[in-house]
Amino acid sequence: MCGIIGYLGRENAIRVVIEGLRHLEYRGYDSAGIAYVDGTGLKIKKCKGKINDLEKLISSEDCQTQLAIGHTRWATHGVPADYNAHPHSSDNVVLVHNGIIENYRELKDRLISKGYIFTSETDTEVLSHLIDLYHKELPLEEAVREALRQAKGSYAIVVLSKKQQDRMVAARKDSPLVFGLSDQGYYIASDVPAFLRATNRVVFINDHEFITVTAEGYRIYDSEGKPVEKEIQQVNWSPSMAEKGGYKHFMLKEIHEQPRAIADTLAGRLLLNEQRVNPAEFGFPDGYLKTLDKIFIGACGTSWHASLIGKYLIESIAEVPVEVDLASEFRYRKPLIKGGDLFIAITQSGETADTLAAQREAKSRGAYTLSICNVLGATSAREADSVFYTHSGPEIGVASTKAFTTQLTALMLFAMLLASERQVDYDTAMYIDELLKIPEKIEQILKRESEILNIAKQYSKAQDFLYLGRGLLYPIALEGALKLKEISYIHAEGYPSGEMKHGPIALIDEEMPVVILVQKGPLKDKVLSNIEEVKARGGRTIVFTSVEDPALKDSDVVFTIPETLPELEPILMVVPLQLLAYHIGVLRGCDVDQPRNLAKSVTVE
Ligand code: AGP
């Protein structure tokens, strides 16, 4: 997820763009850049680092221009570096991009064969050369349209031309783009905060729509070039609310971003025409996965919960044994890891000290290391032998939500790849088909948020919670409990349902809400029995289930999630638990984005 902005108007365009980028830094902040026309041609200033670092590259003479574009980056392809920062350019074209071009490899090969020289590791650069190729014969807007016809994936772009220096052209598909109008000029950006201080008059651009802006005005049109009439709307957000996309907190915004985050994490990772996972996205040496005979996973907190699910998925789909460790314990137990084994570090930040230490310990013992990470160029990613990046975008809220569900997506893809490489038979088409439906199924849950709020209102005063789950839902019970305790400070414990009778049942009384997760299949009846055991002791039963069952009719609350494959149920089941923790935390007046005592990345052991 990145932030893009373009400005054309009477004000100093570079100042407007820099100011706008500051209000988009929540969308990504590992590098930044601007491009502008100054009468002599197109100038570009860009660097690794934040907006302040970019500002140091801009001198006073740069500032006499009325047309400029800018970008603040959250890297997905190509580590944070000056040469990977946007804008990216070609002979006569320069652009900024938010999104993922899935078929960038094949486009890049084609453009290189036509003589284009690439200077970055990004997917975006193919767009600048592809548009330039068409712009040799076509006006800018037609060149943009032709090029985007060939790009697969998601994009929001703003483009400038050396040949037509009086305009900017923008377009979007699956990445946001808004157009702002003021007396001082026109703004195109990823999001309203970029120009909200100047105007709240906004046109929301839809997928496959284009816009051309000149000093004389603007024109919005579709992919065939036909004019599109759009309403100018008035946005009444405060700047702070605007950065949260109108949500009250980053945590809620990031819970709602999960459909997009999972779609972006899947983008480019499935070879649909071959019905298999794309091995290039994991980068293992040829044949390694065939010879592998043991896997270790190390992580902390929510990422450790993902590891537990990873074990289930890898062992059931690919039939390779997996040991899971809390990273803080791994190196103290003399693990029997040896050369050729695989160690997977799961870490959203890529900087968690305990996880880095475990990864280094594994590497020192000769293991091959894979990092599943959300931050390009993070320490874990740089030190690992292979990296798989989740594409959830920056996770600002301290509580991990979209990073967790994209980790589960990554582990599912890994298990499928491992099985394929080892010729272990499984129904690939069924899993791929269902994976692609997960974003929509999460949307269905998010649409019922008000039901979760009602549950939160009933139970926000409780002092203790117990979360119970079996099989693949046991780690989700742990995650639900962690979310609640770290956001609302209520004491909450996650437990395997089968373990309740071995102790925790002593806690059950009418003051103790018990969240119980029910899945379809052979474990369902056992969990239903656990619900009876809780009710028999006066406990309050809050059931989240993927199956309807008459036995649930006497539960205090029943929330049903959409059906899916058992292996993908954890991704859906965690979403209502995230919302429950969030709303209880808000009802209790907690700082849900920055809970007391917590840090987003624990870089100390
Ligand atoms: C989860 O909500 C917490 N913020 C915390 O447990 C976190 O998952 C843990 O610190 C690991 O962080 P990492 O994924 O960045 O390594």
Question: DSSP per residue over 316-345, as a string?
Answer: III---EEEEEHHHHTTS-----TT-EEEE
Q: Is 400 in the pocket of ligand 1 (CB under 6 A)?
A: yes
Q: Is 407 in the pocket of ligand 1 (CB under 6 A)?
A: no
In this prediction, residue 39 has a pLDDT band, given cuts at 50, 70 and 90, of: confident
**Is residue 416 a contact partner of residue 428, using CB atoms and an 8 Å limit?**
yes
Specify the 3-state DSSP secondary structure of 296.
Answer: strand
pLDDT in tens, 437-467: 999 999 999 999 999 999 999 999 999 999 9
* 302, 380, 479: residue to mutate for ligand 1 pocket, most atoms within 8 A of CB: 302
- Ligand 1 atom with the smallest distance to the CA of 602 is 10
Active-site residue numbers? 2, 600
**Which pair of tokens denotes residue 102?**
């899935």
Q: Mean pLDDT throughout 149-177? A: 95
How far does the centroid of ligand 1 lie from the alpha carbon of residue 98, in Å?
26
**pLDDT reading at 393 higher than 90:** no
Q: What is the pLDDT of residue 378?
A: 85
* pLDDT reported for residue 76: 86
User: What is the predicted pLDDT for the residue at 243?
Assistant: 80
The per-residue pLDDT for 94 is 98
Q: Does the pLDDT at position 258 exceed 90? A: yes
C-alpha dihedral over 459, 460, 464, 469, to 10 degrees? 60
pLDDT, one tens digit per residue, over 552-576 is 999 999 999 999 999 999 999 999 9
Cα of 374 vs centre of ligand 1, distance in Å, is 12
From the CA of 349, how far away is ligand 1's center (Å)? Answer: 8
Q: Look over the chain and give the mean of its residue pLDDT values, rounded to a whole number.
A: 94
By residue count, the chain amounts to: 605
- Ligand 1 center–CA 299 separation, angstroms: 9
Tell me how far apart the alpha carbons of residues 167 and 19 are, in angstroms, rounded to a whole number: 21
The predicted model gives 174-178 an average pLDDT of 91
Task: Label residue 7 by pLDDT band (50, 70, 90).
Answer: very high
Distance CA 206, CA 559 (A): 33
pLDDT at position 552: 93
420 Cβ below 6 A of ligand 1 = no
From CA 69, how far away is CA 85, in angstroms rounded? 13
347 lines ligand 1 (CB under 6 A): yes
8 Å CB contact between 592 and 249: yes
> Shortest CA distance to 78 belongs to which of 347, 368, 389, 372?
389
CA-nearest residue, atom 4 of ligand 1: 399
> Residue 110: is its pLDDT beyond 90?
yes
- Tell which one of 330, 383, 400, 597 to mutate to probe ligand 1, the residue whose CB is within 8 A of the most ligand atoms: 400
**pTM value?**
0.83
DSSP H/E element including 24: none
Quick one: which atom of ligand 1 is closest to the CA of 299? 16
Measured by CA distance, the residue closest to atom 5 of ligand 1 is 301
Residue 599 has pLDDT above 80, yes or no: no
pLDDT-derived band at 271 (thresholds 50, 70, 90) equals very high
pLDDT classification of 29: cutoffs 50, 70, 90: confident
Query: Ligand 1: which of 249, 251, 255, 300 to mutate, most ligand atoms within 8 Å of CB?
Result: 300
User: From the CB of residue 603, how many other CB atoms can be counted at a distance below 10 Å?
Assistant: 13
Give yes or no for residue 390 CB within 6 A of ligand 1: no
**pLDDT tens-digit profile of 68-86?**
999 999 888 899 999 999 9
Considering all CA atoms of the chain, what is the largest pairwise distance in Å, rounded to the nearest integer? Answer: 81
Positions of E strands within 162-292: 167-173, 178-182, 185-189, 201-204, 210-214, 217-221, 233-234, 270-271, 276-277
Q: Does 237 score more than 80 pLDDT?
A: no
Answer yes or no: is the C-beta of 301 below 6 A from any ligand 1 atom.
Answer: yes
Question: Is 602's C-beta closer than 6 angstroms to any atom of ligand 1?
Answer: yes
pLDDT tier, 594 (very low <50, low <70, confident <90, very high otherwise): confident
Task: Please choose, from the candidates 546, 519, 518, 520, the residue with its C-alpha nearest in 3D space to the C-alpha of residue 532.
Answer: 518
Q: How many CB atoms lie within 10 A of CB 343?
A: 28
Mean pLDDT of 356-378: 94
